[in-house]
Chain A
């Protein structure tokens, strides 16, 4: 089975532009989460989507938005890009529903490296 896939692999944008990142979860997984990993730091939680609805949001501004499609794939959108948005954006999928179990691991994709100039 294919793991979590993300596209594109790399992306270069300029300040003020917007970007769309894509993620396909492992087949059968209905939960998708997005994380931002700035160089030298651990991943930071941005969003969780489950059954096509936003279920949780981390401490990120409204410039960040996402959605999940009927096939459970997901898009992360970032508007009005800032230099500080440069990071590796990771998508993770899980077979865990909202109610648990809380110990199921998440499976991460290879990430999209976004560079904002």
Chain B
């Protein structure tokens, strides 16, 4: 079965410090991986995606993610955290085994990022 795991419920970081939000995946075939962010009482906003090619993917708001095939990981990173980055972050993988087409995403449980001033 295809799955995504986010091992940390919460990540705390001081403003200005680098941040990492972890994600590991298990898929059959090539992984198509996504990061979304959710602010309170809001829907999900797309941050970035990994298709193929460069292992370092750059996305919105200064975020980037590093794809590591040997470790089956897709960690979200940012060099310098902002208080406004505080939100819920979700890692997701496209379910390629789903017979109904390519629009089914499997999400992790989410990681709450808290950036302190």
Give residues in A with beta carbon < 8 Å to B. 4, 6, 31, 33, 35, 40-45, 48, 50, 55-58, 90, 92, 94, 96-111, 113
Contact = CB atoms under 8 A, between A and B. Distances in A.
Interface of B: 32, 34, 36, 41-46, 49, 51, 90, 92, 94-96, 98-110
A42 B94 contact: no
Looking at B32, B36, B104, B109, the one whose CB has the most chain A CB atoms below 10 A away is B104
Contact of A56 (B42, B101, B106, B110): B101
13 contacts: A31-B101, A42-B109, A43-B90, A48-B104, A97-B101, A99-B101, A103-B32, A103-B49, A107-B46, A108-B45, A110-B42, A111-B42, A111-B43
B101 A43 contact: no
Contacts of B110: 40-42
Contact of A100 (B41, B99, B102, B108): B102
B105 to A, nearest CB: 7
Nearest to A32: B103
Contacts of B94: 102-103
A56 B99 contact: yes
* CB-CB nearest 6 A-B residue pairs: A56-B100, A42-B107, A98-B101, A102-B102, A108-B44, A108-B43
